[in-house]
Structure formats: C-alpha cells, structure tokens
C-alpha cells in the first residue's frame, strides 16, 4: 500500500473516536469508558489559560454540532433498551460535571482578566481617596452676598455693568463738569491717556450702572449696584481698587422718608436690631 493510501485509510483521532462510538456503543455504556472521558476532560480543562482555549474546550465537549457529549447521547439508540436508562444517567452526570467546570473556568478567567486590566491601568484601587483641597470665599465676597440678600428682602434687585466704561456713562451723564478734578489722570485710570479724548477708562464708581439701568428700563425702578471700582489713589487710607454699593429707587410717591427707612432697616439687619442710627446730611 502506498503512503498516500495509508494516509487515507488512517482516520483522524476525532473520526476514530466517533467510529468507535457508532460501532461499539456498548463499550461507552460502561463506567470505565465514562471515567476515561471524565479524566480526559479534567486533563484538557487543566490546560486552559485564556478565553480562546476555554471556548475551544466548550465547543469540543458541549458544542451543538460536534460536542463529545452530544455524540455520547446519539449512541444510545444502538444500546439494548434495558441499558439505556443507566447509560443516559451516567452521561447526564458527566454532562453536569463538564458544564459546571466550564462555568467555573469562565468565572476564573473573568477574574483573571479583570485583575490584569487593573494591573495594566497602574491604579492601586486600595489606596485611600484624595481629598479635594478645601477653600472658602473671600471675606469681601461673603459681605457682598449678605448685602445683596438684605436688599433683596427689601425689594431691590441687583444690577451690574462693565468695569471698563466710557466718558459719557462715567462722567457726562452724571453732570460732571469738563474741568472736574475727577476727570484728571491723577484720579482716573484712562486706558489710553495719550489717545483722543474722551476715551475708555476704568469706572471710578458704580453710578454708571444707574445710568444704564434708567436708559434701559422704565419706572418703577428699585436696584442696587454692587461692584469693583478703580481710582488712581494709593495711600494708607485708599486703594486703587475697592468695592462700592449704590442704591437707586425711581417711582411715584417716593420721599426722603423712604430713604431713611431703607437705610435704617439695612443697618439693623446687617449688624443688629439694637444698632442706633443717626443720619447727618454731608458730602
């Protein structure tokens, strides 16, 4: 016989196993044969190291088309009727063992993959969390918030405007004469002192917000204008930048008595109800 003929006549191990199953099913019904298959599965399962090997093992044993357990059950038809019950029970026990071990291996692989992913991320999940840096609001901000809350209770709303102003809103609309000292560079930060006048400047008070509000809204108006202002003045009593708050109420029937009552209510709410208030006209 030629080598080619020999190769054709020698079945593969899988084909040989199935041929024995079809020709000698009575051999597979014995406890020895099933024990041999059980040992074979244990040996193959012990060599599984990754998901690909696990999937290959699953298909070989419980695959719907080529699984060994399927072949075992398909051989029951050639057995005598009195042997089929014991044979089927033994095969089902082996099937339960195989499926349980496959599930166990799948869980182990999943745990290994999760551990490998954690190691790859280089993050130690057992370390304590990092506490965020704790901070607090600036005292000026806290005071401003309190002032806004007090005036809100008195019926005022907060109005804001730009810190970079033009000459009209900062001076002209407030009736500042052209020769007023506040228009001089010694008192005001002009953004381009050498440029054509009037130019842009850093607002010297929050009064421009009142002008913008009255131009944009109709009475009645009741607002406060808190914010930063800038003046070219720096000594022990003054700072180039400081905070200011102004109030504006426009409407019918408003009197100086309303102004006095608002100021007294504001002072007592800010400090204490027992705070004494004395009003002196001054500029």
Q: Going along the chain, which residue ranges are E strands?
A: 157-158, 164-165, 201-202, 221-230, 241-250
Contact 58, 102 (CB under 8 A): yes
Helices (H), 190-274: 207-216, 256-270
Interior/surface letters 193-210, b for 16+ CB within 10 angstroms, e for the rest: eeeeeeeebbbbbbbbbb
- Tens of pLDDT, residues 112-152: 888 888 777 766 778 888 888 888 999 999 999 999 999 99
Residue 31 confidence class, pLDDT cut points 50, 70, 90: low
Is the domain defined by 139-252 classed in CATH 3.30.930.10? yes
CA distances from 140 to 5, 58, 209 (A): 100, 71, 20
Give every CB contact of residue 163 below 8 A, 6+ residues apart in sequence.
202, 203, 227, 228, 230
CATH 3.30.930.10 in the chain, residue ranges: 139-252
Chain segment 168-200, per-residue pLDDT in tens: 999 989 988 888 777 776 688 988 866 666 789
The mean pLDDT value for 34-45 works out to 85
């Amino acid at each position: 016989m030629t080598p080619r003929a020999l190769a054709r006549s020698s079945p593969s191990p899988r084909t040989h196993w199935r041929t024995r199953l079809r020709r000698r099913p009575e051999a597979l019904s014995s406890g020895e044969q099933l024990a041999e298959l059980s040992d074979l599965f244990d040996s193959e399962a012990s060599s599984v190291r990754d998901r690909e090997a696990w999937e290959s093992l699953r298909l070989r044993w419980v695959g719907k088309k080529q699984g060994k357990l399927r072949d075992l059950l398909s051989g029951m038809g050639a057995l005598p009727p009195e042997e089929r019950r014991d044979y089927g029970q033994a095969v089902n026990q082996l099937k339960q063992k195989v499926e349980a071990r496959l599930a166990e291996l799948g869980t182990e692989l999943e745990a290994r993959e999760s551990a490998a992913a954690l190691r790859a991320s280089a993050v130690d999940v057992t370390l304590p969390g990092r506490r965020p840096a704790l901070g607090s609001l600036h005292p000026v901000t806290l005071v401003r918030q309190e002032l806004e809350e007090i005036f809100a209770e008195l019926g005022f709303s907060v109005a804001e405007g730009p810190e970079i102003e033009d000459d009209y809103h900062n001076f002209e609309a407030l009736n500042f004469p052209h020769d007023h000292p506040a228009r001089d560079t010694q008192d005001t930060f002009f953004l381009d002192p050498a440029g054509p006048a009037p130019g842009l400047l850093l607002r010297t008070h929050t009064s421009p917000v009142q002008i913008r509000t009255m131009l944009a809204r109709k009475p009645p108006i009741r607002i406060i204008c808190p914010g930063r202002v800038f003046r070219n003045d720096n000594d022990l009593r003054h700072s180039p930048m400081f905070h200011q708050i102004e109030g504006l109420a426009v409407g019918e029937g408003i009197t100086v008595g309303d102004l006095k009552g608002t100021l007294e209510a504001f002072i007592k709410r800010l400090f204490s109800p027992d705070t004494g208030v004395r009003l002196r006209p001054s500029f």
